[in-house]
Structures are given as C-alpha cells and as structure tokens.
Amino acid sequence: MPPIKGCIQSSMVVTDDLKLPANSRSQELIFEKMTFSDWKATIDPKVQGWWNLHRELPGGLDFFILVSSMMGTIGGGSLSAYSGANSYMDALARYRVSKGERAAALGLGIVPNGGYLIEHPERLAGVEGVEKYAFTSLREICALLEIYCDPANPFSRSLEGCQPVLGVRPPAHWRHLEEIPTTYFQPFWGHMHHIPALVLEGHSAEDVDGNAVSAHHKGALDAAERLAVAASLSEAAEIVSEALAQRMSMLLGTAEDRLDAHKPMHSYGIDSLSAIDIRTWVGQVFEVDIPVFEILGGATFASAGLSIARKVWSRN
C-alpha cells in the first residue's frame, strides 16, 4: 500500500433538548443537567476519534483536516457537549502545528445544502433568517478543502491560520435586531466590530442600518412602553410574557414559536447564568426584580409575566 498522505474526518453526534422529539432517548441539555452517557455520545466521536488519529497516523502528512464548527468558538445555548468537542478539535489543530505538523480545524458555519441539515430539515428551519449567521455552501467548503489539502499552503503550518471560522457576520449587520452577546466582546473578536454591516443582494443599506428595527424584534425593544399604556393587568401580563419568550428565544438560539407560555422556563434547559441574564434584562427593561430561584423554579412565561406586570402596576 502507498503511504498515507493525509486525513479528513467529519464525524459528529449532536442532540439538543429543544429540537428533538420529546420521546427521544438522547437529549443534550445544559452541561449540569446532562447524563454522562449523553456527554460521551457527543464528545467521543470528535475527541477520542481525533486523538486516536493524531496518535496512530504517521508524521509528515500533507494535510490533517479536522472538520470543526463555529460553535467551538461562539458556543450554543444547549449545545454544551457539541461546542466543547469542537473547541477540543480547534486546540488539537494548534497543538499539532506547535509540534511542526500540518493541521487545520475548519470552523464551518451552517451548511444548508448538504450533510446533517439535509437529513434534519427541522433544525435548518430553526436557524433560517438568523442574521448573525451566514450560510456556508458545499462549493465554499470544497474550495476551502482544496486550499488546506495543498501541502504548499502555509496556513496549515501557522498558528494564525490553522483555525479559520466561517459563517459569522459582523455585529454591525445584526445589532439592531438583538443584543450583542458577551462572547463577541472577547479580544479575538475585536476586529469584527470594525467591519461595516453587509449589504446583501436584494437589500439596500437602509435595510441593515442600525436604526432599522425588524418587526419581530420591535416588541422586545418597546415592551416597557407598551406596558405603560396597557389597559388591564391581563394585557400587561401578556406583553411581559411575550417579551420574556423573545428574550429566551435569543438566549437559546431557538425559534420563539417553540416556546410554550405555560411551560416552566427551566424546562428548556436554562442554567443559572441564563437565569441571571434574564433577571438583569428584566431589571433594565421593566425596572423591577425577579428572583433567580423563581426563574429556575416552576415559573412559566405566563406566570412570570403576571408577576412582573403586577410589580410594575403597583409601582405606578
């Protein structure tokens, strides 16, 4: 047999509790609520699989391509194991390069026309129209592979070039639709804040201007104003409940219509950090306090909305 020239591996197991059927056996939750078997099911194909390949394959390969994901860098609300597995791959690529070997961890974005999302169209529907992400086509992936499989390519020997991240649009393009997550204020995202909003085909510069607010997000931005003129407590509670659902939708990266107003908020897999985020947001928007233990307890969007509305009304 001729010598092995290179390696490409793209295995993955990903589950999340918001998009799988309720009777699914393997559901990925936030880290603290996951079972060890669920964690291993997602981690092992990437972590153990890639470590085995790294150790067993000969040195001096022309290419060593780890098909990673942008989620290894930006994370996902209820994709802790999947995000962690991809972060490991990113680190392994850098480790190999530091040892003089070629490697590249390709942090792919959302690929709508091939692979996993073709087999799970319901998951694609959950991210379509999310302005912070740009789709990555199979043609673009093939072009990227052609570059990184070329032994003359310097990027696969460079710590600065061995971890490209695709499919993330600059904050200027979508900051008028939602708040910029804390992740994007880490130093390695600094350059993204200097990139102007993208003007896509079929749109004008006004469409992506920071003053242009989408109809979908407008409800969350002016919730306090709508609450101030509500005609009844029930109307006020509904306004707050809708705003809470919009906030939760943004935190978890899931469609708002997947959230049931009468289902406990904690059942969607939020952790204490997410609960603190919601509490802080409620304080900023409605100027009242909602205890973290209430969010993580049995409070639904509807009951929390009523509680907040009552506090606002009693203050006024």
pLDDT in tens, 195-217: 887 665 555 555 545 444 444 44
Which part of the chain is CATH 3.40.50.720?
6-168
For residue 19, pLDDT over 60 is answered with no
- Burial bucket for residue 198 (CB in 10 Å: 0-12, 13-18, 19+): middle
Is residue 28 within 8 Å of residue 17, measured between CB atoms?
yes
Of 141, 175, 157, nearest in space to 70 by CA: 141
d(CA 18, CA 255): 10
pLDDT at position 1, please? 76
Eight-state DSSP code of residue 168 = B
For residue 223, pLDDT over 70 is answered with yes
pLDDT at position 241, please? 93
Q: Specify which of 41-50, 112-121, 166-175, 246-255 reaches the highest per-range mean pLDDT.
A: 41-50
Percent pLDDT > 90 in the chain is 36
For residue 273, pLDDT over 50 is answered with yes
pLDDT at position 78, please? 67
* The CATH number, out of the four listed (3.40.50.2300, 3.90.1150.10, 3.40.50.300, 3.40.50.720), of the domain defined by the range 6-168: 3.40.50.720
Q: How many other C-beta atoms can be found within 10 angstroms of the C-beta atom of residue 45?
A: 17
* The CATH number, out of the four listed (1.10.1200.10, 1.10.10.410, 3.80.10.10, 1.10.3720.10), of the domain defined by the range 215-315: 1.10.1200.10
pLDDT at position 46, please? 93
Of 166, 190, 6, nearest in space to 70 by CA: 166
pLDDT at position 97, please? 96
When mean pLDDT is compared across 12-21, 63-72, 161-170, 183-192, the lowest value belongs to 12-21
Higher pLDDT, 270 or 214: 270
pLDDT at position 119, please? 81
Q: Specify which of 192-201, 257-266, 275-284 reaches the highest per-range mean pLDDT.
A: 257-266
For residue 181, pLDDT over 80 is answered with no
Take residue 12 and report the two structure tokens written for it: 């993955």
Which part of the chain is CATH 1.10.1200.10?
215-315
Q: Give the mean pLDDT of 269-286.
A: 82
pLDDT at position 206, please? 52
Q: Give the mean pLDDT of 74-100.
A: 88
d(CA 187, CA 177): 23
When mean pLDDT is compared across 8-22, 121-135, 187-201, the lowest value belongs to 8-22
